[in-house]
Structure 1
Amino acid sequence: MPDRPSSSLSAARRLLQFARAHWRMALLQFVLAVFGTSLIIVFPGVVQWFVDDIIPSKDIAGIWKAGGLAVGAFFLREFLFYVRTRVNSVFEQRMIFDLRGQLHRKIARLPLSWFDRQSTGDILTRMADDVPATQRVILEGIEQGLTSILQIIISAVVMFYTNSAFALIVMIPTPFIAAGGWLFARWVAPRAKLAREASSHMNSLLHDTITGIRQIKSYTAEDTKQEDFNEASHRLRQSQQRLMTAWAVYSPLMGFFGSFGLVMLLSLGAYGTIQGEITTGELFKFIFLLGFFFEPIARLHGVNQTLVTGLASAERVFKILDQEGEEDLERGQALIRAQGAIEFQDIGFGYQPEKPVLQHLHLTVHPRQTIAIVGATGSGKSTLFQLLTRFYDPQSGSITLDGKDITAYSRISLRDSIAYVTQDAFLFAGTIRENLRLGKHDATEEELWLALRHACAEEFVRQHPNGLDAQVGERGVMLSGGERQRIAMARAFLKDAPILLLDEATSAVDNRSEQLIQQALETLRQDRTCLVIAHRLSTVVSADVIYVMRQGEVLAHGRHEELLESCAYYRELASLALL
């Protein structure tokens, strides 16, 4: 994978761009790191002072001076470390807040066609795992990496100042350590990315298991799903083992080079002391300085591992942020109040271009009409609603609203003009009140109950001990299917949009509720354009116009009685519905 290093470098540059927005905190971090790290030179100097001056001269007063200097330096260093840690925590969390917010914003604005190609588990992994891994790049890179590099530089400068010849000799292993770190990054980076992808795949399977647990239990597929999960888990284990193998080779090898430098110092230092080339105090000073030199190098091994795996995660995050095709909700003319005149003109569309769902479709809706769309499953009925709301755009033809192509309107104003009850009545984890206010965030108590009354949901909500504040559970699992659908309808009614789309909106309610909802719809549709998709023809016989669809085309349209006379396919659907 020759492009990996440049990809990692690109991800690192992007992270620095995030840091630039908080440059004041970054500068404060740097200043604190410089001052705190510079204090390491005090203790080796104090040791030399003790060995070469205080002990030989038996200077008791000097003990207190030197000891006080060392204690003061240590205290100041740790205090600066405390301040730096606090500043770094705020700095890091602000950066991650920005990154996580940008990722969520991007995901929310990507077109549905992108979600069609992604697994939910992979998206959740990028948000829940890859962003924190990217966070460790910032934390380790700035907190550990910066201070380690500063400590190495300061230690090297003091060693050269003390004895340049000795410094050159004891630093012989340094190029080998640097080369090892560079080779490790190139070797491990592709493996780190594979490990992240394996983790993502396993999380996708886990997400499917949780969301589909009722189907798994009903088909007694627990063992089959366990085998799938074990296979994904095994793949993750193998990728992690390859990573750990690389680390097992790298870390001890780099540790050996550091230890080799220390042995060289002791050997050459002892020889130099015997020969009178350096004092015993200078040798002790060098030993401490070399420890300060190689200790951060050892830390950098761990930082290197974190950076490699973290940058692999950062690439996955930036891959989403760099996705093209983000929906521009604001671009276009504002649709103030739609009249509801809709026309589908020669529409051609397929979720996959080579597999058309709609072909040469024509459909006309007049303002404040109720239009019913019927047909077999897979005939393209729900796709019409997806196109009208611009979740997708047709590959050919056009859709007009009040005489203008809907692409001329901004998406936000277009969707604000449409209340859409989908086939799958989705409720967010939270209360009934919170779910209803998705339709109108500032709705009053009276408006909430009125919407529930229109959707025939008032009775069961009032019967609940917590009323509007009752929890619905994840995806509304604490409510029955019919209750979920009626809450979703109430949410759409609350929006009070001029166009109402109902996709199988009464499929999960009993006959009594269906009759009540039909009565509510009779009132609601007087002031708005209403498009209804239904398999149960009994719910649409009173529509102004019924469009009959088959295999992506409009087969016929007219009123119920007319279609019974003129369309054999509609008569077949009606007979199946016992009409």
Structure 2
Amino acid sequence: MSEVKENIFDFKLFKRLFQYIKPYKFIFGGLLILVILLAIFSVATPKITEIAIDDSITNQKEQGFLFYIMLMLAVLILQTVFQLLFIYYAAWLGQNLVMDVRVKLFDHLLRFKMKYYDNSSVGVLITRAVTDMERIADIFGEGLFMIFRDLLTMAVVFGVMLYTNVKLSLIVFVMLPLLLYATRLFQKYMKKAFEEVRNEVSNLNSFVQERLTGMKILQLFTREDVEYKKFTVINERHKKGWLKTVWYNSIFFPIADLVSSLCIGLVAWYGGLNVMEGTVTKGVLVAFIMYIPMLFRPLRQIADKFNTLQMGMVAANRVFRVLDTTSHIDDKGTHVAESFKGHIRFDNVHFSYVEDEEVLKGVSFDVNVGETIAIVGATGAGKSTIINLLNRFYEIKDGAILVDGINIKDVTLASLRTQIAVVLQDVFLFADTIMNNITLNQPDITEAQVTQAAKDIGIHDFIMSLPNGYQYNVKERGVMLSSGQRQLISFLRAYVTNPSILVLDEATSSVDSYSEQLIQNATEKITQGRTSIVIAHRLATIKKADKILVMDAGKIVEQGTHDQLLKKENGYYKNLYEVQFLQNEEVA
């Protein structure tokens, strides 16, 4: 758990959060006016009661009594209207502010390097973007303005009490420091408790998200009981965190009620004696008994609202920590690639995911315009890394990657990635229609274009065989389709963008023979006149490649055509072919 700051309120953090209020400064100003009006109106009812008792009831005068009653009713109506406006617009401000922060956070997340996601929990990030955001909204809707209103109310009540009767006020103020000290201790410990709660919420979200995503693996390996026990432990920590906050509440609020009740008793006793002596009026005594809850209740409410404020500040701190993370690919390129001819060159490229553990060790090769090259090698040899670097998902350590003689660092990220279409082995489909999964909601790709592209590569009939055809909802991660069908959709997604460079990352490794045949036919069509890089898994793809790059332990150990490499005695490719690819073909 991160270290908790000892200060009760982080003004630096709030100052930063306050920057998001600027677009809503008029609403903010209106809320401040409402706070002032509510504080003034809060003391009006006791004061009118005091005057009504002393002027009419004590003197038994009916004249003017109805006026006081009507005046009190008017004050209550106005107070209710102001309270309604205050509550609504405080929440409105909080929701609008958090909407702006959430949009900024999501935009920030969209541009993070893949390395950031390699090292981050998706569940924690979801907590930041959803749950923590609601806690930030509560800062304004239920925290800050409420605290400010209560403090101002206390100040006004304090002043009116002093003005009305100093001796009775002193009784109240003698009791007040005890409650103030208890409140400060309560706030201090609640801050630490809520920091612990937020940590445990993040852990809980992360654990549940991962297990639900990987439910098939858990059930395949009968890990239900083990994961249940793990969840019980995490849930227990979460429960203990919340119970700690409940414990602090259960101590503080009874103490606050006790102090308030003692204070009312003392004022009633001492004030009653003064009434009998004639030094204090009945109206003043009644007013003071009404003032005391108005002075003590806000303190209790402040402590309660401070819980909300603390949770919001802790959440804001976590969100800003993500916003402050600088994990973006340097996008300072000025060249906008309308299209590429397709000449690719890797020049002595070094790269490592983890520092001092190189994955690529001086990789150099050329892909000529319109060529199809296959990259083969054992798992972990660095094949997929080449694809990641070509798309600039990661930054290289040394060397250069050039397309058409231009360093890809000098090309804008958007235009670079627009010209490179990638079909991955692990296909990701959104819980949406087939059409939207193909176009990814790009307005410049029409339904007619998608339909024609599907016909070109021979999968239109397959799509139309599904309920609602192109409008068929594949649900989360495309669970309504087989792995082969998902791969076909992914292939069509790449095809409709009309890329300059095509990348197939073992795109046929997990599909049935029928789907593979469709993809092979489509591959032949889409690769015509287009530079293509294929991380090969099936022999048919390798044989048709213009060039094969053979990788081992981050280096290119051989390159050439299929026939050339097979002629090398004890060659790495020949051994790989005989051990791996030939066996795969026999199995197929």
Question: Does TM-score exceed 0.5, indicating one fold?
Answer: yes
Q: Equivalent pairs: percent with the same residue?
A: 31
Q: Secondary structure at the match of 1:57?
A: coil
Give, in angstroms, the shift of residue 328 of structure 1: 5.3
Inter-CA distance 105–390: structure 2 relative to 1 (3 Å threshold): same
Aligned residue identity for 1:207: Q
> What is the aligned partner in structure 1 of residue 576 from structure 2?
573
Matches within 5 A, 1:467-506: 467-506=469-508
Deviations 1:55-100 (A, max 9, x none): 1333224221111001111011101112223322321211111111
Q: State the partner residue of 1:400.
A: 402
What's the offset of the Cα at 1:7?
8.1
Counterpart AA for 1:174 = L
1:144 CA drift (Å)? 1.8
For 1:290, give the aligned amino acid. Answer: I
Residue in structure 1 matched with residue 139 of structure 2 by the alignment: 137
Q: Which one is further off, 66-75 or 339-348?
A: 339-348
What do the CA deviations read for 1:140-171 (whole angstroms, capped 9, x no partner)?
22442122122112211211221234323312
Distance 1:298 1:369 in 2: 75
Deviations 1:185-227 (A, max 9, x none): 3323233212211121121111121111111111111101101
Which residue type is aligned with residue 547 of structure 1?
L
Paired residue secondary structure (2:425): coil
Q: 1:242 to 1:482 in 2, by over 3 A?
A: same
Q: Tell me the equivalent position of 1:458.
A: 460
Cα displacement string for residues 509-559 of structure 1 (whole angstroms, at most 9, x for unaligned residues): 222332332222222222321111122222221111110111111011111
Q: Distance in 2 between matches of 1:488 and 1:454?
A: 15
The residue type paired with residue 570 of structure 1 is: Y
After superposition, the CA RMSD in angstroms is 1.9
1:125 shift after superposition:
1.6
Task: Using the TM superposition, name which of 84-93 and 396-405 deviates more.
Answer: 84-93
Alpha-carbon separation, structure 2, partners of 1:551 and 1:341:
25
Aligned 8 A contact 1:7 1:315 in 2? no
Q: Of residues 170, 173, 176 in structure 2, which corresponds to 1:174?
A: 176
2:133 and 2:387 map into 1 onto residues whose CA distance is 35
Whole-Å separation in 2 of the counterparts to 1:236 and 1:468: 45
**After the TM superposition, which residues 407-418 of structure 1 pair with which residues of structure 2 at under 5 Å, given as runs?**
407-418=409-420
TM-score by length of 1: 0.95
1:468-547 matched pairs, under 5 angstroms: 468-547=470-549
Contact in 2 for aligned 1:498/1:527 (Cα 8 Å): no
Which stretch has the larger CA shift, 58-67 or 371-380?
58-67
Matched, 1:211 2:250: no
Q: What is the identity, as a one-letter code, of the residue corresponding to 1:159? A: M
Counterpart residue number, 1:556: 558
Residue type of the partner of 2:577? A
For residue 425 of structure 1, report the CA deviation from its aligned partner. Answer: 0.6
Q: Who is 1:377 aligned against?
A: 379
Q: Which amino acid aligns with 2:531?
A: T
Residues 90 and 140, structure 2, Cα contact 8 Å, conserved in 1: no
SS of the residue 2:358 aligns to: coil
1:153-552 correspondence runs (5 A): 153-327=155-329, 329=331, 331-438=333-440, 440-552=442-554
Mapped contact 1:456–1:513 kept (Cα < 8 A): no
- CA distance in structure 2 between the aligned counterparts of 1:568 and 1:525, rounded to whole angstroms: 28
Partner of 2:80: 78
The one-letter code matched in structure 2 to 1:577 is F
Q: Deviations over 1:428-471 (max 9, x none)?
A: 11111111112743322221112323454322210112111100
Counterpart AA for 2:344: I
Q: Tell me which moved more, 476-485 or 53-62.
A: 53-62
- Unaligned runs of 5+ residues in structure 2 are none
1:2 CA displacement: 6.5
Q: 1:135, CA displacement in angstroms?
A: 1.6
How far, CA to CA, are the matches of 2:8 and 2:508 in structure 1? 55
CA contact (8 A) 1:133 1:313 kept: yes
1: distance between equivalents of 2:377 and 2:185? 63
TM-score between both structures, scaled by the size of structure 2: 0.94
Secondary structure of 1:464 counterpart? coil
1:39-188 maps to which residues of 2 (within 5 A)?
Answer: 39-188=41-190
Distance 2:94 2:162 in 1: 35
Deviates more, 1:274-283 or 1:261-270: 261-270
Query: Residue type of the partner of 1:235?
Result: R
